[in-house]
Amino acid sequence: MRKRKLRELEVSEIGMGCMGFSHGYGTAPDRDYSIEAIRDAFAYGCIFFDTAETYGTQQFYPGHNEQLVGEAVEPFRKEIVLATKLHFRGAAPKDGKELEVEVRRHLEQSLHNLRSDYVDLYYLHRVNEDVPLEDIAGVMGKLIQQGIIRAWGLSQVSGEMLRRADQVTPVSAVQNIYSMVERNCEADIFPYCMEHSIGVVPFSPIASGLLSGKVTRDIKFEGDDVRKFVPQLAKENLEANQPILDVVRQHAAAKGATNAQIALAWMLHKYPNVVPIPGSKNKERILENLKASEITMTEAELSSLEQALGACTVYGHRGHVETEQNPNFAFSKQH
């Protein structure tokens, strides 16, 4: 698979979101299946794997996903880029010294879970408005200098938040929601990131399955499946968004690809610094997503697709910036 840069980190141009092996999409698969799926992705050429300390808080326990990923990648740890995320629970640290102690405590637990002595990319999972971003950035700079993390990133932030943090310690990646139906990042995040060689790592790049065309009115999301909270997947919005699916389906048929592959190829051809991390708990879907890297798209084809998408109205936006204080955070933090 071709490679891309998240500032100084070289990664496969499509990564793998691993959350679904622990929670978020209904009943999780068993451990052996999950580990095999991760290793199959590596065998195909994926060298960028994404997890978080909170993944596992529903069906299993906090840290479950990190432990699973750590076991799966242990045989080839030095050959990959491993990303995890910091999340503050409860009261915010009172001062800079306490903040640094707390960040290190979280990181040490993640390192233990991941069976590693360093993290390649350490994200702040969501901004806590009680903790100045500049202070977080300062601590991340110390961790980079000490070699405990190689780089740091932010998740679900605005352009203003990104600029503030980047001025203290250079940010390597921004993990925001981005897809054909969630394009707010094009206004403020992508221009700044392009200018400063920062990678954009979209989560939910297939819009929680909407763009695959496989989600129908009859599907029932059960248990901890976060898709039951995604507004675009509400029955009335599924019908209203059908013109978008028709556009994707037409272009997929012309390229001999699946809808999901076109959704991923579209962003890969739009931006040289974008590295989507589609998530799935199904081995076949994981490999299908990774094979989107094989889809070629001419400038004329991209322009035609953009024009067709631009003529469509999107129903059921999820929103741009999600913070700790956001009332939807209980749902959104799991991404």
Active-site residue flag, 118: no
Predicted confidence at residue 290, as pLDDT, reads 98
Per-residue pLDDT of the chain (335 residues; tens, 9 = 90+): 999 999 999 999 999 999 999 988 888 999 999 999 999 999 999 999 999 999 997 778 889 999 999 999 999 999 999 999 999 876 667 677 899 999 999 999 999 999 999 999 999 999 988 889 999 999 999 999 999 999 999 999 999 999 999 999 999 999 999 999 999 999 999 999 999 999 999 999 999 999 999 888 778 877 777 888 888 888 899 999 999 999 999 999 999 999 999 999 999 999 999 999 999 999 999 999 999 999 999 999 999 999 999 999 999 988 656 555 554 434 444 45
Confidence at residue 186, expressed as pLDDT on a 0 to 100 scale? 97
Contact 174, 200 (CB under 8 A): yes
- DSSP readout, 164-183? HHHTTS---EEE-B-BTTB-
**Predicted pLDDT of residue 90:** 66
What is the set of domains in the chain, with CATH numbers?
3-332 (3.20.20.100)
Q: Would you state the pLDDT for residue 285? A: 96
Show contacts of 183-188: CB within 8 Å, 24+ apart.
184/320, 185/320, 187/159, 188/158, 188/159, 188/160
CA dist 293 and 264 (Å) reads: 8
- How far apart are alpha carbons 273 and 125 in whole angstroms? 20
pLDDT at res. 328 = 46
Task: Measure CA 67 to chain center.
Answer: 18
pLDDT recorded at residue 335 = 53
pLDDT value of residue 334: 46
Contact between 189 and 200 (Cβ < 8 Å): yes
Dihedral over Cα of 179, 274, 311, 262: its sign: negative
Model pTM score = 0.93
Q: Nearest-CA neighbor of 290 among 31, 46, 37?
A: 46
Catalytic residue among 25, 33, 44, 55: 55
